[in-house]
């Protein structure tokens, strides 16, 4: 049959857009009210249809729905028009072709397996077993590293931002800049380059007083990184972890 309206692939199942069906059936009422009435016949959201919002030409979301072929067939019958009968037959034919294609695919697989020799089948099984054993060996190889890293980020101690930058393979100034841009560190003022309160658990801030040549004193702050903060920074900035360094004194 010629394609009367586009068929959608909805998680491997055939479906049609509600507005395409509404247009083909030449329904005089607006789509939104018409679809609400159709749903009133007992169709269930999430089972028979799902909402599908798309931008209209005016830029605002326009209501649409992904409708299962079973629901589309019933809606077509409800219309009691020639267009409804035509749509229903079209959906039945679409389902028939999909089933034929699926059956043909299954038969092809069976045919290929039937033509394989016993040694070929055994070889495939052996290859699969070798891959499984290789994956298991790789997992066991990584276990000690994973445990060591977990112990490291849960340990006590603190690290300077410069040391963390070395671990992560970037410069100290760049790390400060990236953390400010990511909204982790304060960007301006007397608390610049110290973490915001919501991230404080991953850091430690120490205040110290400096005396200027004029005799005036001012308070400065130094940010240190907790072990858990290293993994937090790595994930936050999308960086690769490097071998851990000893903690700061």
Question: CB–CB of 49/67 below 8 Å?
Answer: yes
Tokens of 71: 């629901």
* Residue 160 CB partners (closer than 8 Å, separation 6+): 224, 225, 248
- Taking only the tens of pLDDT, the chain with its 249 residues reads 457 899 998 888 899 999 999 999 999 999 999 999 999 999 999 999 999 876 555 667 789 999 999 999 999 999 999 999 999 999 999 999 888 887 776 566 556 556 667 777 777 778 778 878 877 776 676 556 555 555 554 455 688 898 888 888 888 999 999 999 999 999 988 889 999 999 998 899 988 888 878 878 878 889 999 888 888 898 888 876 555 555 555
Contact in structure between 38 and 78 (CB atoms under 8 Å): yes
Q: What pLDDT score was predicted for residue 235?
A: 86
Q: Please say whether the beta carbons of 248 and 224 come within 8 A.
A: yes
CA atoms within 13 A of residue 22's CA, in its CB half-sphere? 19
Q: Phi and psi of 9, rounded to 5°?
A: -100, 105
25 φ, ψ (degrees, to nearest 5): -75, -10
Tally the C-alpha atoms within 13 A of residue 149's C-alpha that lie toward its C-beta: 12
Please give the radius of gyration of the chain, using alpha carbons only, rounded to the nearest integer: 32
- On whether the CB atoms of residues 75 and 21 are closer than 8 A, the answer is yes
């Amino acid at each position: 049959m010629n394609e009367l309206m586009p068929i959608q692939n909805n998680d491997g199942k055939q479906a049609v857009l509600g507005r395409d069906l509404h247009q083909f059936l030449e329904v005089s009422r607006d789509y939104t009210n018409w679809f609400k009435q159709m749903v009133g016949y007992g169709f269930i959201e999430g089972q028979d249809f799902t909402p599908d919002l798309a931008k209209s030409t005016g830029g605002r979301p326009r209501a649409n729905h992904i409708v299962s072929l079973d629901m589309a067939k019933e809606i077509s019958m409800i219309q009691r028009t020639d267009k409804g009968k035509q749509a229903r037959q079209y959906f039945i034919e679409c389902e028939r072709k999909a089933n034929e294609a699926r059956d043909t695919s299954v038969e092809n697989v069976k045919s290929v397996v039937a033509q394989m020799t016993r040694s070929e089948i055994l070889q495939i099984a052996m290859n699969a077993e070798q891959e499984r054993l290789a994956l298991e060996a790789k997992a066991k190889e990584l276990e000690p590293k994973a445990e060591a890293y977990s112990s490291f980020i849960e340990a006590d101690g603190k690290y300077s931002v410069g040391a963390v930058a070395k671990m992560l393979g970037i410069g100290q100034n760049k790390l400060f800049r990236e953390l400010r841009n990511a909204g982790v560190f304060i960007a301006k003022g007397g608390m610049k380059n110290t973490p915001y309160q919501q991230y404080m658990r991953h850091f430690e801030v120490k205040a110290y007083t400096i005396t200027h040549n004029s005799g005036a004193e001012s308070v400065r702050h130094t940010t240190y990184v907790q072990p858990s903060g290293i993994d937090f920074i790595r994930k936050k900035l999308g960086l690769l972890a490097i071998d851990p360094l000893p903690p700061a004194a």
